[in-house]
Amino acid sequence: MIAAAGKRLHFVGIGGAGMSGLARVMMARGARVTGSDIHESDETRRLRRAGVEVHLGHDPTILDEPIDAVIVSSAIDEENPELRAARHRAVPIVRRLHALAALLDGYQSIGVAGTHGKTTTSAMIATILIEVGLDPSYLIGAHCPGLGGNAHLGSSPLFVTEVDESDGLFLGLRPSISVLNNIGCDHLSTYRDLGEIEASFLQYLNQSGRSVLSIDDVLVRGFVGRSPAPLTVGTSTDADLRATRITPRRFETRFELTVGGRRVGSVRLPAPGVHNVRNALCAIGAAYLAGVKPRDAAEALEAFRLPHRRFELLEENGVTVVDDYAHLPAEIEATLQAIQDGWEGRRIVALFQPHRFTRTRAIGPEFGAAFADADTVLVLPIYPASEAPIPGVSSQCIADAIVAATDADVFRIGSKDEGLRFLTSYIEPGDFIISFGAGDIWTVTEELSCFLKEGSFCAS
């Protein structure tokens, strides 16, 4: 019903990456789409340019006009005034992932899941399918410059979607092909512990037709005999699709691809790090199960461009400035290792903005060793997202953990402005500056890149 042409759909929290993409696809299917969000953003501006009526702020009078369904993200509080108005008017309220499940019905769907790497892998799969001449639909959790956006309604029966496990609703999806990159401890406001996270991912795999498992991850490897007809990928010697002779070259990585122990070709991946090689193997594996020859998939990856905020280069002029969305220990560790491998001898200065009080309370000490490859670390205050502060929880525990586990020079910074002032006086020619975090830490490195280009700060 919600995906039918002619329906009017209102998206609460439409500026979110997943919501904006879903809105675009629904509009392409003929629905009349409106939406609301608290703040203006690049996504709300893009949606307006596409013809979507976007309201800033949450106004219950929006629901005065006839609406067939309200689509809502899990980040929206149940007491949101628009949701209250929808309940009062008996307008159906549909969770984003439930809407996605209905949308995927009838497609040969490829669902990409895992604790990290989902966005990049999804974009890689979409790139491959496009480059080999198919026209897939896709929904990806970030703006993808190489794809022209984060969503597209294609003409082929293939539909690639990033699958977010954060609220547990992903178990309503039953993709034709499931991809599982890795498993980590996260979203402990939804899951009791790591065991429950594992069980949810296993259920997800068992609801799929085929699966691609990245078996370099020890927990994913444990699913090999417990999931349907898995295709295994990785650098491990027993992987069905394997990468060997991995060679880092700054912003690209080269490797040899073998299938069933037989070499099929060389791959030039325009992304740094072994972690992106693993993402690429997942993408090649998913494309293979969808009917694409591995050699063709490997060659197609040369056209890949990293999504927004995934190792995004902001400045390269004596000082390298990069912004990255990584906000979990394993992601940060992998990215810093990629810098060490690709930019040998550079001083690495990392800025970290922890994301959410609940995450910091649950795994704060685990961030310590993740920064072992950094020379200097600036730890900023926690970005709360939608959470209220938790008494006694601050970024101090992360700073202390980094001091205890590494030889890095660690500075706890009180604000983004203070961090920017610190950097402008601290950095030296040849430094590699990288910001980490899922919040708004990117504004600091963006300002820094302007300072380096122009010798003055950009206008806010």
The Cα–Cα gap between 175 and 131 comes to: 22
The phi, psi pair for 170, rounded to 5°, reads: -65, -15
Instruction: Report the chain (460 residues): mean pLDDT per 10 consecutive residues.
Output: 75 90 92 91 90 90 90 87 93 91 92 93 98 96 92 95 86 94 81 88 94 96 90 96 95 96 94 96 98 96 94 92 94 95 94 94 94 97 91 96 97 96 93 95 93 62
DSSP symbol at 159: E
Closest CA to 99 of 190, 9, 207, 204: 9
Tens digits of per-residue pLDDT, 288-318? Answer: 999 999 999 999 999 999 999 899 999 988 8
Tens digits of per-residue pLDDT, 362-414? Answer: 999 999 999 999 999 999 999 998 788 999 999 999 999 999 999 999 999 99
Beta bridge partners of 108: 158
The pLDDT assigned to 6 comes to 80
The pLDDT assigned to 39 comes to 85
The pLDDT assigned to 456 comes to 47
Q: Active site includes 119?
A: yes
Of residues 44, 119, 127, 376, which has the active-site annotation?
119
Distances (CA, A) of 440 to 161, 382, 383, 385, 427: 25, 11, 8, 10, 21
The pLDDT assigned to 65 comes to 86
The Cα–Cα gap between 31 and 90 comes to: 20
DSSP run (H or E) holding 102: helix 96-104
The pLDDT assigned to 117 comes to 92
Beta bridge partners of 377: 350, 410
Query: Residue with structure tokens 């500056």?
Result: 433
Q: Give CATH 3.40.50.720 domain extents, the chain.
A: 8-94
Beta bridge partners of 70: 10, 93
Joined tokens for residue 342 = 């690709």
The pLDDT assigned to 4 comes to 63
Taking the C-alpha atoms of 108, 179, 12 and 187 in order, what is their torsion angle to the nearest 10 degrees? Answer: 160
- Per the CB < 8 A criterion, the answer to whether 112 and 181 are in contact is yes
The Cα–Cα gap between 385 and 253 comes to: 34
The Cα–Cα gap between 272 and 295 comes to: 21
The phi, psi pair for 270, rounded to 5°, reads: -80, 60
The pLDDT assigned to 5 comes to 72
Q: What's the CATH number for 8-94?
A: 3.40.50.720
Q: Give CATH 3.90.190.20 domain extents, the chain.
A: 312-454
- Antiparallel, parallel or unpaired: β 108-113 and 158-162: parallel
The CATH class of the 312-454 domain is alpha beta
Identify the CATH homologous superfamily for domain 106-303. Answer: Mur-like, catalytic domain (3.40.1190.10)
Q: Where are the alpha helices (DSSP H) in 153-213?
A: 194-206
The pLDDT assigned to 168 comes to 77
Q: Give CATH 3.40.1190.10 domain extents, the chain.
A: 106-303
The pLDDT assigned to 457 comes to 47
Q: Active site includes 162?
A: yes
- Per the CB < 8 A criterion, the answer to whether 436 and 330 are in contact is no
Q: Active site includes 118?
A: yes
Q: How many CA atoms lie within 13 A of 128 on its CB side?
A: 34
Q: What is the CA radius of gyration of the chain?
A: 22
Joined tokens for residue 237 = 């010697």
The phi, psi pair for 80, rounded to 5°, reads: -55, 135
Closest CA to 375 of 401, 346, 352: 346
- Per the CB < 8 A criterion, the answer to whether 242 and 233 are in contact is yes
Of residues 44, 118, 120, 416, which has the active-site annotation?
118
Residues 6+ away with beta carbon under 8 Å from 344:
none
Of residues 43, 82, 131, 162, which has the active-site annotation?
162
The pLDDT assigned to 246 comes to 96
Q: Where are the alpha helices (DSSP H) in 290-415?
A: 294-300, 329-342, 357-363, 396-405
Beta bridge partners of 435: 323, 351
- Antiparallel, parallel or unpaired: β 108-113 and 93-95: unpaired
Amino acid in position 184: G
